[in-house]
Amino acid sequence: MTIEINLLPWREQRRVQRTRRFKQGLLLTLLVGLLIGWGISLHEKSLVRAGQARVALIQRDTDALTRDIQAMRDFRELRERMLKQIEVINELQSSRPLTIRVLDQLTATLVDGVYYTELDRRNDRLELSGVAASNRQVSDQMRALDNSSAFAIPLLSDVQSAEGPAAAKRFHMSVDQHPVDDSVAGAGS
């Protein structure tokens, strides 16, 4: 008695089952691969968005710093202008007693018969133009200025005689001012 066993249907079923499992595994692997790819894509996009947000933040901060730097430059320029104005005002304030002293000394040293027609002051030098009745009065005026504590030796640059019987003498001279010490400046203000 021989028993015959037919193994073919069993093998066929096993082959169909293996093919089905292979296809399912392949499909599952494909789906997992797609999910992983999609996840990586989402992650990369989020990294790009985060980078763009950082760049935008840096750009905003850079713009704000640029505005601050410009405001600082403007402030420094304003400060420099104000310091120059303060310096000019201080110079004017400090020269105020000197101006009063010069005018007082000019009137105190004025000789009879002499009057000034023009006065020009540049730094510490006075340019004086005037009229006198005679050359002697011009000389007396120069001596009076020289004897003053406010002025140095005057320099006569021009004397012109007018025509006619009462010929007045037009003169032009320059004289330097002596510096003012603190006691005189304090008394003048």
Name the β-bridge partners of 114.
132
Tell me, yes or no, if the pTM score tops 0.85.
no
Q: What is the DSSP string of 58-77?
A: HHHHHHHHHHHHHHHHHHHH
Q: What is the overall mean pLDDT for the chain?
A: 87
Residue 133 is predicted with a pLDDT of 86
Mean pLDDT for 8-35 is 92
pLDDT given at position 83: 97
Q: What tens digit of pLDDT does each residue of 136-158 get?
A: 998 998 899 889 888 888 888 88
H-assigned helices in 109-177: 135-147
Distance CA 171, CA 165 (A): 18
Q: What is the structure's pLDDT at 165?
A: 60
The pLDDT > 90 percentage for the chain reads 48
pLDDT at 182 over 60: no
CB under 8 Å to 96, separation ≥6 — which residues?
188, 189
The pair of three-digit structure tokens given for residue 64, joined into one six-digit string: 């704000």
CA–chain centroid gap for 77, Å, is: 2
Q: Where are the domains of the chain?
A: 89-188
CATH architecture of 89-188: 2-Layer Sandwich (3.30)
Task: Give the E-state strand segments of the chain in sequence order.
Answer: 114-122, 125-132, 155-161, 169-176
User: What are the tens digits of pLDDT across the range 77-135?
Assistant: 999 999 999 999 998 888 777 888 888 888 888 888 898 999 998 888 889 999 998 88
Residue 155 and residue 174 in contact, taking contact as beta carbons nearer than 8 Å: yes
pLDDT score, position 37:
96
Q: Given this model, what pLDDT does residue 97 score?
A: 79
